A and B are shown apart, each in its own frame.
Chain A
Amino acid sequence: MELSSGNTIETVTSDQDLRNETVGSDDGSVLSKNELKRRMKAQRLAAERELRQSSRVQQHQAAARDASSGNQEADEELMTSQQYFSHRCRVVEHFRSSGEDPYPHKFYVTCSVPQFIAKYSYLGVGERLDGEEALAGRIRSRRLSGSRLFFYDIFADGTKVQVMADARLDTAGNFATVHSALRRGDIIGVRGYPGRTKTGELSIFPVETRLLSPCLHMLPKPHQMLSDPETRYRQRYLDLIVNREVRPIFELRANVIRFIRKFLDERGFLEVETPIMNAVAGGANARPFVTFHNELGVNMYLRVAPELYLKELVIGGLDRVYELGRNFRNEGIDMTHNPEFTACEFYAAYLDYKDLMDLTEAMLSLLVKELTGHLKIKYHPEGRHALENEVEIDFTPPFKRISVMDALREALPSELRPLFPESEQLGTDESRFRLETICERVGVVCPPPVTEARLLDKLFGALVEPKCVSPTFVCDHPEIMSPLAKWHRNRPGLTERFELFVNGRELCNAYTELNDPFVQRERFLSSQRDADKGDAEAMAKDEDFCTALEYALPPTAGWGIGIDRLVMLLADQNNIKEVVLFPALRPRPNSDGDEAAELRDRVQDLKVKE
């Protein structure tokens, strides 16, 4: 994994003048009306911006342009992004009119770039084979040496290979046309001989080079992208092209998901799919998204968790089921929350939460070992660039196990401990009063509605969670915090539940499932009372589910994990946006609908700042 490697992108170094063209103004080539309209608008925006910016950068650019007038490729470097775009559109039109297809239907690739490297890395310096291979990829850098020798680095599948295009080898007869049109960012296909140059670089020596898809925009440089994270997420494809450390994160993500599926499949779990749109949102305490089904004329809610449906399947006799998919919560966006997120839930009949602790230890330690090679991983809670802030997370089983109430009591200052309610006392006004007092004394704020569950949650979040760096099972939550968990077999007032905390954050949540339909109804009702008090996240009663429970749910243990958070840990990322390809973002301010034009502005702005 090349997570830490830097980016080295060479820029065009040529000072050769291939063709003399005027730059920066629109040409007279035939365009569709819409295309023309759009370009005019973009031009207008560009002009306005240029007026706004009376920076020295502009003057500098103009000076530079004058100094090297007649030098087209150097000029391209200095163009505004809008000028560059118009220029490239014209080149493509020109290319088209000269009988070449800038967007061909098909290019036969004989092997991928990584395969090519693996296959031919044995070649010695200066050696060249006769057999042909065909590769394709995106140009990362382009260098020329006269008009008859071009060097390209092309990237595909996260790896690089050099193309050394020599006019003497070309058999396609369009060497000059093609190579003068190619630029950094273009997708090309090359067919030719594998070999190694005299300087020892593994290369392909093409007999034919084809433009497969031109890049009309100036590709940003890595440091430009880094300076504006929003652009990276909004235009993830640019991020993937420019920043080499991004791709491995999503390969890792796919591997994590594949590992979990394999782990569960091997243990007899059946993957199922349950509805995302429900007439009632249940299974977790969260605010749901609402939508409307036109034909049925009913409101529907996007699921906050698949829990209740999965338990119905266990009632139906599918003893071990899991679902890995998207859940939705209508909440704010921050470093750890995206409105849609991926979770895996599984249910296993005849097991209890203790069995699941063992299973969790097995799954996570095997997963971490297989995907990172170690059981201990380094993590940077303040971000990968805050190196001084490093923690080590140890996934070696067994994980630490602590009880919620005991851990909370111990975390309190000794004078407050007697005030802390016993688990049997929870659910009374007195214990709520005591918890409120404790919160006040230790300076924990609980915004209304002030329910015991929320008070405990806030206290726990402030006092205990930050201490759980290496994986820690936090067990036996009070009933009032866990409407779907079964009462504890030995400890009154508590449930058989655990949450796994890693790096101070909840990663897994599991319990022995409540399968007594009457107790379940009571819990729903008390949750309903919280909702009536104004807790919009309290769970709504699901009568269908209660009815299903009356058909007997076997003793069952259920478990859920947040995939995004797991990937964050393993990829050493502290922002969920880094592990979600297209994270939800605030709508851009002053968006006038012409997003692309604005995107161009943004790239331009970056360029100017440079």
Chain B
Amino acid sequence: MRDLLVVENLQQVFGGRTRTYAVDGVSFRIPEEPAIVSLVGESGSGKSTIARIILGLLQPTAGRVLYEGTDIFTRDRKWNRKFRGEVQAVFQDPYSVYNPVYKAERVLKLVIRKFGLAKSKAEAQALMEEALRAVDLRPEEVLGRHPHQLSGGQRQRLMLARVYLMRPRLIIADEPVSMIDAGMRASFLNILLDFQERHGISTLFITHDLSTAMYLGGQIIVLYQGRIMERGQTRGVMKDPQHPYAQLLISSIPTPDPRKRWEEDLSAGPLAEVGPGISSGRDRCLFAERCPAVMDRCWGARPLLQAANSNAMSEADRDVACYLYQ
């Protein structure tokens, strides 16, 4: 089976004397058939750095990103143009991506012009209206307005309309719903699901909010300090996480149900947060100092991401980087 996108042993190291490993040996793939893959982790886990590398905005220290088998950093202009059309970004802040002096629809018009999507003005207009309807925006509430006259939710959906015009194969969405209102989030996520089901568009969904990843389904990759701790089908991982970090993370989701409150009081537990700079030495499990199940082995060498070997779990498609399962 060919893959749409392959991320191979990606590493990104920042800084000189004190080196910061933002991404440390991350590999995953997004399949050919339309899929949603969520990349979750807390701030500083490297998820946005991975997004920037995949978009070609940042050259990794080591590792490769292959799009349809071609390394995205060794490409010619023609290939580059195709890649830029087929892989589209949606960023976190629906305010700063617009130029406030132009009308909001300029983001659509530019795409139509640059990629020659329409032959006439009327055709361009029809395309814009179709794209707006595809993201549940009424053309009359958007066209002719300036960005500040639109709400955050509208602006973010307008970015999806722009993406829709391009009919990309892959959307890299970096925290796209964290700045839009609770009432609007579900609609935005539904559009991504529609894109996948009706238009064959895959999404790499980057978030710190596990409940949105849970809603989208598909696959999930759990990052911690630049490394993958666990990977699998979202539903399976959420129901039965294997890695102690994934277990901690998932049990800490504030479930919007007052009858399902957190059971254990973590406030004084051994899982207390480690301050930056304390964790030194990377040839070990990076979660060791917070892990309730830590063993001597965990300090000795880095656990590799492997298929989970656990009697408790019958799921085939699951990888865990933890000695408990190796």
A binds B: no
Q: State the A residues within 8 Å of B (CB).
A: none
